[in-house]
Structure 1
Amino acid sequence: MNQVRRTPGGAALTDLILTMFRANNRTLTWGDRLVAPQGLTSARWQVLGAIVYAERPQPVAWLARDLGANRQNVQRIINDLHKDGLVAFAPNPHHKRAQLVALTEKGQQTYEAAIRSYDPAANALADGLDVEDIQTAHRVLLALRKRLEGDDDAEEQD
């Protein structure tokens, strides 16, 4: 049986991916604790952030794409946020069924409160880490994401 062996790059990437999985789980737990006083979870906070950074109301599918997430999962979270009065739906002039999602005043206040909690916590977490190392890690993860998104494009063409 011919077994393919990992190259040094493949082995290093595997180590990175395994560490990334663990760090992601810890980050979500950290985020959940951080925004719990605002009645949020990391997932809800992430969706609110996508709405804020979109700069104008977007349909759920576009928000999901921007997050790199499953549309159905984002729709479920949006529905929960709507029930809590944090987002509102608006008609989409380009598509009857794909309503636009916007923050309500309560949603904006909740998001801002989460950020007020986040900034000092992020500063503390970064304390003692080399800024250049953080920037290098960001570049590597960005390049990895772009390659994986390229794989998504190839799959869609099949």
Structure 2
Amino acid sequence: MNSTPRTPSGDAFAELAISVLRLAGHLTSEGDKLARPSGQTSARWQVLAAANHAPMSVADAARMLGLARQGVQRIADLLEAEGMIAYRDNPVHQRAKLMIPTPKGEAVLADISSRQAVWTNALGADIGEERLKQATALVSDVIALLKERGAQP
């Protein structure tokens, strides 16, 4: 049994955390559906999109996505083997190559992005722009606070 009772704000945060985790599961499932016609998964799409965002190392992509570096490395290597990304020299770090999307990778991203636009436009219209902006601000604040505290309990 928990020896320290939660406060009302602690309960509210716990409910938010559970809701965000449940949302993440739904978003992954929907991402898989959006990526499947292009022969991809949500995870592969995320890594490919990160590489398309800016030339970055696997470690940079993992930090940006909040994922383990080893998992991102495995996916990046698969994407490279399939000709969707290429590794390039990194002027800042000799061993940490930069991921760059190839024309094939860019085409796959464009294909997925067209389906995603229809999906996000419909959901955005149902929820409303202002509510979504407020939710985004709250989630961003929680992320910043966790980073500031070092994610320590």
Q: TM-score scaled by structure 1? A: 0.89
Corresponding position of 1:52: 52
Q: Distance in 2 between matches of 1:44 and 1:69?
A: 12
Answering whether residue 4 of structure 2 is matched by residue 12 of structure 1, we say no
The 5-angstrom pairing of residues 16-35 of structure 1 reads 16-35=16-35
Return 5+ residue gaps in structure 1 as ranges.
none
- Which consecutive unaligned segments of at least 5 residues does structure 2 have? none
Identity of aligned residues (%): 36
Change (3 A) 1:37 1:148: same
User: What do the CA deviations read for 1:99-136 (whole angstroms, capped 9, x no partner)?
Assistant: 11100000011111110110001111223212211111
Q: Which moved more, 1:62-71 or 1:39-48?
A: 62-71
Question: What is the deviation of 1:63?
Answer: 1.5
Q: Which amino acid aligns with 1:31?
A: G
Distance 1:99 1:129 in 2: 40
Q: CA deviation at 1:92?
A: 2.1
- Give the root-mean-square deviation of aligned CA atoms: 1.9
In structure 2, do the counterparts of structure 1 residues 148 and 105 end up closer, same or farther at CA, with 3 Å as the change threshold? same
Cα offset, 1:94, TM superposition? 3.1
- Counterparts of 1:104 and 1:72 in 2: how far apart (Å)? 22
Q: TM-score, normalization: structure 2?
A: 0.92
